[in-house]
Structure formats: structure tokens, C-alpha cells
A and B are shown apart, each in its own frame.
Chain A
């Protein structure tokens, strides 16, 4: 990946991104040798914008998110908040960063302290960071936050414990807790994957409202492109595979006109809630079902053992770079780089 590809979204908009991940890598040392969970990832998040990070388990999405949140120090590259590297910040800036970036975890059953009431959970950061003075004001603020995440009436929830709430309610509490410090960016790591379909949409709608009303930027991690499409329709999507970004672009283009074979495979694999349409979907086009181990990455393009467009000599040689194939859309694929991506509208057949 070259420096010209750094933060494409920021360039297009002509503003300073709130957060940039600049060539970050994370290498874990294990018995099986070093594992590059994240390799040379470039991303940027703007205020009020959604950046979706999509990929299978083990593709490095969570590792990238943990580095973005400052929970893990990258082995290589820099994570910058407001243009300053977070690992060389002074205490005050770092505190601003910590308050500005909040994390909503995947499992609402594990991420809330079972021995604390909702009131205690939500007021803890308020009091710790001195956002409000006194427990009365804190309780008042907590009630406002609950109302923001559609937990009404707030009074009936404040004295409850997590085990008394349903999964969807707990996830709303996690979001309310993330909102306590007026964050600029919320990192949502598979935050809706454990919820029932019907509840998932209402939580996503609530997050969407926060994005629009409070101007919060999102790093939205999901393995389901349909969810990325719904939540990040007006944002950007990065598709990750085995630690690398293989395709990046506006969500609408990624969904309707994917160029990388892996993105195509992901989209083709999703069943449609429509019996006739779903039967027309291509099945089993991948050459292998198993995702390779990060410890023994295939030579060249790491997707080549599974890729339906594999060409011997081309794909198993060098690692493909992320290059721009269409305005705003870049792909790391030798075959696409050679043959071109075609018109963005080709695949796009809107279904009523």
C-alpha cells in the first residue's frame, strides 16, 4: 500500500479526519511464530460519518478496532486523533482522546458489570471524568442518556441490574454508557450480531439517529454486509481479509458494484429474504471453504487459494497493492488491476 492511498475519504471531502490509522500493523508473537493480525491498514474516520469494517472472523477487524480505540499499541504505524499520534500524546490530549472515542462491545451479557445497577454503570464515567458534579446531577444526566437510547421511562430502568434486562435493552445500556462522555467516535464491534433480527433493526435505527443528531462518527464492525449496507449506506466500507484491507470505497459502490472477488463472494453468500431472488444467487463459487491460518499465510495474494478468478503465476507471486480502480473505490487484486473494474453501474439492478 502506498502513501497516496492514505485516507481516501479525507481527501475527497477535503477536511481533516477525526481519526486516522496510518499503515498500522499488529504482530502477535505466538508459539507458531509471529502472526500479523493486521497488516498495513490505512483508515480514516470523519465526524458524523460511518466507516464500516467488514470481513470474516479472523480477518483482523477487532484488532484494527482495538488499535483505533487505543486499547492495543500498534507494532508499526500510527494511530492519530485530531492529527496527533495517540501514543506520543501528553496526558491532557490523551484524556481528550479517551473521552472522545468510546467502544460498544459485541456481547451485552459480558460487557456490563453484573453487580452494578444501570445507574451505577452509567454514572461511573460521569463522576470519574468530572462531567457532572454530585450524584443528583449524575442521576439526572443518566436519565437523559437512557431516554436518548429509547429506554423510557428511564426511572424504571435505573435501579435495575443487567440480568433483569433483555439483550436488546442491555445493548442500549452499553450505548448509553458510551455516550456519557460526549464521544466524537463510537467504535461498535459487532454490536448487533447477538441480537434478534427484529431488535437488531431498532438498535441500528437508534444508532443512526445518534449519528445524525449528535454528529458522532462510527467505526462500525460487522461480518454481515447487509447490516453494513443498512447502517453505512452513506458512508464508506472497508473489506478486510486476513489482516489486510482488500477493498475500500463508498458503501453503495461496494454493495452494488464490488470489484474484489472476495467482496463479491461475501455478497453472493448472503441469503436474501426473498425466495425467488435467493435461488438465483451464485453458490459455491469459492475454490476452498477453509480460511487459511494467519500463521501460514499463502504467498502472494492471501485470497488466491479460494479465489474463483485465480490465475497461476499472477496471483501467487506478489502481494497485490490497494489501487484505485474507480473514483473513490480501491481494490487489492492483480486480476482486477489488469482487466479493469468495469462500469460501476453494471451489476446494479435495483430490486423493488
Chain B
């Protein structure tokens, strides 16, 4: 379902996502998984989200918070038992608006890769093990464009060089011949083949070594500067979010519980869950701060607690928290910021990093 908007004939990449309009606009997005015998599990519940052109958004949270399901749902990649509902509008640069959940067949194929692409977790599993990198590049391009062999070669080489790989060396390799970091970079290069407006990265650096992770982060900074795409990246590593994101959204039990600019989120988190996540990441510079873990684990999506879903693990919880799931409301004491939080005790939540003083200092 593609509807043409009146103003749109501007071509090319100069105008991304229209005039100040969000590139991707998600409203009341829900994902349900059918789990046999008529039962369903609500994995993503009522997400509202706007992604603006050129923006980098981090989705953070523990495993089982619905981050990946949300990412897959945005690209209509859910398994057959998953059902997405709500409204996801993608705003093409030429003024066309697409209703992603209504797409099918050719239009859906057009949307994927060309408008939005995904870099999956576990680079090895995302490749066909019996196909060389060249094969992957050609397959992708041929499925979506009418590019000639020569053009495909050139485009692939260009992108591989952009992610700091030598095309001559990599193109003729099978996936297993590359190291984990190289594979991940090839995957990033591949996802950019058709110049998507939005790139969704699912745990792009998990399971990679620290220096390899650094190189992927640097590559992402670089290509984003060059190509100017928007990015949604899913991570449980808050340090990575601090590094790569302009905006952060914390997910818990399928909902966004806090969202805001990266500095607001890290210096003035207002949701106890975000606070807990930040406190659980040990910083490397300086002395040893007090670390705290969040007690317990994420709740089962099949049996969510009443009221605020975080209340059983929350240090701020009161009886009131069990009554209703608080809505996401703007933080009132900061005028004009896009910081929103779903917690009735948000005024009491403050990040206060104490350094342990009972321990000696260096040397």
C-alpha cells in the first residue's frame, strides 16, 4: 500500500524523511506470539516511537524484554506465530508514506533492504555457509535491482572498503574463513548495499572481542557520517548505547518505560530500571564505584505482575505501583526536552555514583 503525497517529487537523498517529519513513526505497536492451544504471549505492548532522519536510537534492556521482537516486527520479519498490530509509517524522502504493516509481496520486498535493512545478531548464522561473500552480494543486489555484474562488483568493493576490508581478499572467501569481526563488518556492508534509510542492528557487537567491538563501533560512526542513515540498535550493553546513540529507549517486559536524549538518560535517569541498568555497568576509568545489581530477573511474559511490571524488582515500589501500569509521560521539570518516563516515583529516582572509599587507591 503506497500512497503518493502531493508535495513529493524531490529525488535522491538530499531530503530525508520529509520536512521535520519522522522517518519512521510507530504507534501503539503490539506483537503477540501464539503459544499453542489458543494462548498468546504479549511480547511487545503498545510502543509509540518516532525515529527522525539521521538519528541513532538505542533500545536497551535485559534479555527477554522484547527488544529483538520489536526490531523484527518493524521489518515484518516475525516468525509465523508472531502477529504484529498497530501502525508503523515509513516516510520516504520523496514524500511517500508507507504503512509497513499493510505491505505485502513486491512492496514489502521493496521496503526491505532498500528502505530499511537489518544486521542480525550472530553474524555466522546470517550468512549462507556454502556461498562466498561475492555470492551474497550479487544475490542481494540482483533480487532488488537491475544492476549489472560490473556495477555490483563496484558497489560491493566500495562498501567493503568503507568498513575497512579489502574487497580483493574478502569477496572470494566463504563466511567461515573470516573472523567474527570481519563477518560482522561484511554484514554491515551488505546491509548498506541498497542505501537503506534505516538500519536496524541487533546486538551488533555482542560476542565480539573488545578490540573488535571497538573497530565495529568506529566503522559504524564512520559510515553513518558518510551515508547519513538512521539507526536503531538493540543492545543490552549500556556503555555501547552511551557511545553510539543520540537517543535511548529502555524496554522492560515489552514496553518502553523511559526514553530521552542520551545525556538525559545517563546523567538523569528517572526510571528505576534504567537507573539499575546504568549502575550495573562497571566503568573502566577511575576508581571503583559502588555497583548494584537489579534483584531477580525479567518476568515471564506469560505471567506479568499486576500494575507496573517492574514493581516486584523495584526498590522504589509502593502499594500504589501494583494498581496500574503507569503511562509514559514527559518529565515535567525539564521544559522542552523529549525525556519521558513511565514511573509514578520518577521524582525520587536519582543517579548518585558513589566511589567506594574503603578501598585503597592505585599504587
Q: Quick one: given A272-B285, A273-B242, are A283 and B297 in contact (CB under 8 Å)?
A: no
**In contact, B291 and A205 (Cβ under 8 angstroms):** yes
Nearest B-chain residue to A234, judged by Cβ: B359
Asked whether B295 is an interface residue with its Cβ less than 8 Å from the other chain, the reply is yes
Query: What residues of chain B lie closer than 8 Å to A137, measured between beta carbons?
Result: none
Cβ-closest chain A residue relative to B354: A352
A46-70 interface mask toward B, CB cutoff 8 Å, 1 = contact, 0 = none? 0000000000110000000000000
Q: A229-B284, A283-B214, A344-B363 are in contact. Are A196 and B62 (CB under 8 A)?
A: yes
Q: Which residues of B contact A234 (CB under 8 A)?
A: 359-360
The verdict on B133 contacting chain A, using a C-beta distance below 8 Å, is no
Q: Does A200 contact B (CB under 8 A)?
A: yes
Chain A positions within 8 Å of B242 at CB level: 271-275, 278
Q: Do most interface residues of chain B lie in helix, strand or loop, or is the interface mixed? A: loop
- In the assembled complex, A198 has its CB within 8 A of some CB on chain B: yes
A275 touches B212 (CB 8 A): no
Task: State the CA gap A349–B164 with chains docked (Å).
Answer: 33
Say whether A278 contacts B359, CB under 8 Å.
no
Residues 19-50 of A at the B interface (beta carbon under 8 Å): none
A200-B239 contact, Cβ under 8 Å, with A230-B288, A269-B211, A289-B212: no
Contact A198 B280 (CB under 8 A): yes
> Known contacts being A290-B179, A345-B362, is A273 close to B209, with CB within 8 Å?
no
Indicate if B213 sits at the interface (CB-CB under 8 A). Answer: yes
Is A273 touching B266 in the complex (CB atoms < 8 A)? yes
**Contact partner, A225, options B63, B284, B291, B294, Cβ 8 Å:** B284
Q: Is the CB of B211 within 8 A of A286?
A: yes
Q: 0/1 per residue, B178-195, Cβ < 8 Å to A?
A: 010110000000000000
CB–CB B266/A275 < 8 A: yes
Contact partners of A278 in chain B: CB under 8 A: 239, 242-243
| B285 & A284 in contact (Cβ 8 Å cutoff) | no
A270: Cβ under 8 A from any B Cβ: yes
Q: How many residues of B contact A (CB 8 A)?
A: 51
A311 contact set on B, CB distance < 8 A = none
Contact in complex: A271, B217 (CB < 8 Å)? yes
Q: Complex: how many Å from CA A219 to CA B68?
A: 35
A267 close to B (CB within 8 Å): yes
- Contact residue among A199, A230, A290 (Cβ-Cβ distance under 8 Å from B297): A199
Interface pair A271/B243, CB less than 8 Å apart = yes
Known: A257-B362, A286-B211. A198 touches B355 (CB 8 A): no
Give the residues in chain B near A202, CB-CB below 8 Å: 293, 295
Q: Chain A 192-213 against B: per-residue CB contact (8 Å), 1 yes, 0 no?
A: 0000111111101100000000
Q: Does chain A have a CB within 8 A of B237? A: yes
Q: Inside 8 A of B280's CB, which chain A residues have their CB?
A: 197-198, 200-201
Report the minimum CB–CB distance from A218 to chain B (whole Å): 17
Check: B361 CB closer than 8 A to any chain A CB: yes
Closest Cβ of chain B to A51, distance in Å, is: 18
**Interfacial chain B residues near A289, Cβ < 8 Å:** 164, 181, 211-212, 215
Q: Does A146 contact B (CB under 8 A)?
A: no
Q: Let me know if A266 is at the binding interface, CB within 8 A.
A: yes
Task: Tell me whether A198 and B284 are in contact in the complex, defined as CB-CB below 8 angstroms, given that A168-B297, A283-B214 are known contacts.
Answer: no
Q: Complex formed: what's the CA distance from A274 to B285 in Å?
A: 11
Within 8 A of A (CB), among B274-329: 276-278, 280-288, 291-295, 297
**CB-based contact B293/A350 at 8 Å:** no
Which residues of the other chain, B, contact A135 by a CB distance below 8 angstroms?
none
How far apart are the CA atoms of A267 and B285 in the complex, in Å? Answer: 8
Alpha-carbon separation in the docked complex, A234 to B356 (Å): 13
**Is residue A265 within 8 Å, beta carbon to beta carbon, of the partner chain?**
yes
Given A229-B288, A345-B363, A224 and B277 contact (CB-CB distance below 8 Å): no
Once A283-B218, A284-B218, A352-B353 are accepted as A-B contacts, the answer to whether A233 and B359 lie under 8 Å apart by CB is yes
Contact of B283 among A272, A283, A345 (CB under 8 A): A272
Q: Kindly identify which residue among A57, A225, A284 contacts B215, using a CB–CB cutoff of 8 Å.
A: A284
Considering the complex, give the chain A residue whose CB is closest to the CB of B213.
A269
Residue of A nearest to B246 (CB): A275
Distance in angstroms from A273 CB to nearest chain B CB is: 4
Q: Is B236 an interface residue (CB 8 A)?
A: yes
- Bound CA–CA A269/B208 (angstroms): 12
Min CB–CB distance B310 → chain A (angstroms): 12
Q: A166 contacts the other chain (Cβ, under 8 Å)?
A: yes
Q: Cβ of A277 < 8 Å from any Cβ of B? A: yes
A351 touching B363 in the complex, CB below 8 Å, given contacts A196-B62, A271-B240: no
Q: Is there an interface contact between A269 and B214, defined as CB atoms closer than 8 Å?
A: yes
Nearest to A326 among chain B residues (CB) is B363
Excluding A226-B283, A275-B242, 15 further A-B contacts by CB distance (< 8 Å) are A198-B294, A205-B291, A223-B210, A229-B284, A229-B288, A265-B211, A266-B210, A270-B284, A271-B217, A271-B243, A273-B239, A273-B242, A278-B242, A283-B221, A350-B361
| Partner-A contacts on B (CB < 8 A) | 62-63, 164, 179, 181-182, 209-215, 217-218, 221, 236-240, 242-243, 262-263, 266, 276-278, 280-288, 291-295, 297, 353, 355, 359-363
A-B contact pairs, 27 of them (CB 8 A): A57-B209, A168-B297, A197-B281, A200-B293, A205-B293, A224-B210, A226-B281, A250-B363, A256-B362, A257-B363, A268-B214, A270-B214, A271-B237, A272-B283, A273-B283, A274-B266, A277-B283, A279-B243, A283-B214, A286-B211, A289-B164, A289-B211, A290-B179, A291-B179, A291-B211, A345-B362, A350-B286
Q: Which 6 interchain pairs have the tightest Cβ spacing?
A: A202-B293, A269-B214, A351-B286, A271-B239, A201-B293, A273-B281
